[in-house]
Structure 1
Amino acid sequence: MRNFLDFEQPIAELEGKVEELRHLAGDGEMNIADEIGKLQTKADKLLRQTYAKLTPWQKVQVARHQDRPHFGDYVSTLIEDFTPLAGDRGFAEDKAIQGGMGRFRGQSCVVIGHEKGHDTQSRVAHNFGMARPEGYRKAIRLMEMADRFDLPVITLVDTAGAYPGVGAEERGQAEAIARSIEKCLEIKTPLVATIIGEGGSGGAIALAAADSVLMMEHSIYSVISPEGCASILWRSAEHAQTAAEALRLTAQDLEKLKIIDRIVAEPMGGAHRDPSEAIISLGNVIEDELKKLTAMDGASLRKRRREKFLAIGRDL
């Protein structure tokens, strides 16, 4: 059963009619193959037209779609012999950020990313992908290990932002995020980051200050969520749609602003319609980026990475 977003309702109605006709045809009561074909063509055309002109707010909805592939889905498909590593060696294990070692298409690597979870139980267990300080300190530990053993780092970002709870602030949330960004810029091994869904605030950039920053076609990346922005500027989250327009949070906007390096195409209708195709597509792009980066020495990588982030905004 496919879950449709509000703006997809006309598509849902057409696809619903197609399924009804297929059910009737399957019963052998009538031959309606031509009618099914026409309706399917019409639904496909409407899907293409809809996704060719998504508004920023609609992009936000797609990026948050419950059926969109998450960290675990990418790892299970792209990473062989994945060995998860837990704990920050200082306070606790944070399940919002997952990480470990494995092989990406034959190459040993370290993989780190946010995990939101797919159902209510797993979302609560992973705190909806909102990490506490220990999550970022675990990421730092894994990046240090990757640097020590000269392993490339792949990060998958999908978070509304770092967890804003009292306990997280007491344990140094801002400092942990800053240290994670610092570590991203410090290591001398290739680092490829991808925004696979939401890239919210410092909680996202803590894993995304990379040599190559990729974004899935319908993902979002911003300093604050549209609802948070609207609550500050208009004292009401009802203006989230207006905020989304102003934040320039789409992959297409951010590529023009040179905040990201490359957009990864998604299947028609978004990654949630065909997760397997979306995952393989990202894997191909990551492989391509790693080939370029592994040809460079560590000192050059670090220098290039730092200069890249210092240059952001200079030409605007």
Structure 2
Amino acid sequence: MATQERKPLLLDFEKPLVELEARIKQIRELAEENDVDVSEQIRQLEARAVQLRQEIFTGLSPSQRLQLARHPRRPSTLDYVQAISDEWIELHGDRSGSDDPALVAGVGRLAGRPVVMLGHQKGRDTKDNVARNFGMASPGGYRKAIRLMEHANRFGMPIITFIDTPGAWAGVEAEKQGQGEAIAYNLREMFRFDVPILCTVIGEGGSGGALGIGVGDRLLMLEHAVYTVATPEACAAILWKDSAKAPQAAEALKITAWDLKNLGILDRIIPEPIGGAHSEPLKAAATLKQALLDDLAQLDALTSEQRRELRYQKFRNIGVFLEASA
């Protein structure tokens, strides 16, 4: 049976670029059919395509970056783990009768060094997303995460987390199972660990669901990732009773990597390939791996006491502001 070629998912702001690339392809095919030399015209159009791609992806609005962060083809936690680790074994279960597929965790090696890597896992399509609960972890997921992190701390292995969730699962069943307690427990315990902790927002970092694995010595973000206290849609519905005002909320919430860097919350912005991480996933993974190794080397130079103090002060200073007197 012939396989049907999978068409790339197209975002609205990408349409001018795709139309130009289609035009270049059409001109090239017509020139080959008619044996006409149009190489100069094609070079000019290709140069324009490169320029247009640069213009589009360097001038994105917060709501457009949110679209990229949610792109179904964007690399997930498992994609990055497989790309950057020498070997990795996924471990399951919270030892309380639950295993949450929305949060994956395991032990592996990064540049030959034993580490624990874990993160939220979204699906590729509707069926996969339903199985993964759209990356919204349950209490069992956060308990599985802390079990693996305690293992890492016991055996001196750095902890690397990947954040990609619209938020923790907010269902009634999650509340019955102690969602708030599970996240709060993780927050408290991550502050006391001796080993280095590196947290990276790879896609969408939402609310307490992100913070449940987000307390670390370093917070990194991919260039087109977002990190927010609530989704822009939820914020718009709360403030204006109109989710259509989500772009306005996205602007006000300061959700982009550049906003968070300016606010002192973020430690490092990891550049993505032009077109987003999904356009060249292996290149994006290589850049992420190097950033992790660089920061890990810096943290290795500190004592466990210095790392704990650094971690505490980092979060203690978030939200601190001064009011000018009248």
**What TM-score range do you get, normalising by the shorter chain?**
over 0.9
Other-structure match for 2:302:
296
Would the alpha carbon gap of residues 32 and 138 (structure 1) be closer, same or farther in structure 2, given more than 3 Å must change?
same
Other-structure match for 2:176:
170
Secondary structure in 1 matching 2:202 = strand
| Sequence identity percentage | 45
Matches of residues 7-18 of structure 1 in structure 2 within 5 Å? 7-18=13-24
1:94-126 C-alpha deviation (Å, 9 max, x unpaired):
000001000001111000101102122322221
Would the alpha carbon gap of residues 23 and 183 (structure 1) be closer, same or farther in structure 2, given more than 3 Å must change?
farther
Q: In 1, Cα distance between the equivalents of 2:33 and 2:91? A: 52
Displacement of 1:195 after TM fit? 0.3
Other-structure match for 1:32:
38
Other-structure match for 1:202:
208
Other-structure match for 2:259:
253
Other-structure match for 2:314:
308
Q: In 2, Cα distance between the equivalents of 1:314 and 1:122? A: 41
Other-structure match for 2:287:
281
1:13-51 C-alpha deviation (Å, 9 max, x unpaired):
101112323444565744333222221111111111112
Q: Report the residue type matching 1:248 in the other structure.
A: K
Q: In 2, Cα distance between the equivalents of 1:22 and 1:186? A: 61
Q: In 2, Cα distance between the equivalents of 1:218 and 1:125? A: 26
Q: Report the residue type matching 1:95 in the other structure.
A: P
Secondary structure in 1 matching 2:237 = helix
Q: In 2, Cα distance between the equivalents of 1:175 and 1:27? A: 67
1:109-166 C-alpha deviation (Å, 9 max, x unpaired):
0001011021223222211111011000001101100000000000010001111111
Displacement of 1:314 after TM fit? 2.2
1:206-257 C-alpha deviation (Å, 9 max, x unpaired):
1111100000011000000000101111112111011001100000000010
Deviates more, 1:223-232 or 1:6-15: 6-15
Would the alpha carbon gap of residues 27 and 167 (structure 1) be closer, same or farther in structure 2, given more than 3 Å must change?
farther
Q: In 1, Cα distance between the equivalents of 2:211 and 2:34? A: 56
Other-structure match for 1:217:
223
Residue number among 59, 82, 88 corresponding to 2:94 in the alignment: 88
Q: In 2, Cα distance between the equivalents of 1:108 and 1:152? A: 8
Other-structure match for 1:73:
79
Deviates more, 1:295-304 or 1:133-142: 295-304
Where does the alignment leave 5 or more consecutive residues of structure 2 unmatched? 1-6
Where does the alignment leave 5 or more consecutive residues of structure 1 unmatched? none
Other-structure match for 2:232:
226
Q: In 1, Cα distance between the equivalents of 2:306 and 2:258? A: 29
Residue number among 126, 142, 148 corresponding to 2:148 in the alignment: 142
Residue number among 267, 275, 278 corresponding to 1:272 in the alignment: 278
Displacement of 1:303 after TM fit? 1.7
Does residue 56 of structure 1 match 2:67? no
Q: In 2, Cα distance between the equivalents of 1:107 and 1:25? A: 54
Secondary structure in 1 matching 2:86 = strand
Q: Report the residue type matching 1:44 in the other structure.
A: V
Q: Report the residue type matching 1:50 in the other structure.
A: I
What RMSD over aligned residues (CA atoms) do the two structures have, in Å? 1.4
Computing the radius of gyration from Cα coordinates, the structure with the larger value is 2
Deviates more, 1:291-300 or 1:151-160: 291-300
Q: In 2, Cα distance between the equivalents of 1:105 and 1:124? A: 34
Deviates more, 1:306-315 or 1:224-233: 306-315
Displacement of 1:313 after TM fit? 2.4
Q: In 1, Cα distance between the equivalents of 2:133 and 2:28? A: 41
Other-structure match for 1:113:
119
Give the length in aligned residue pairs: 316
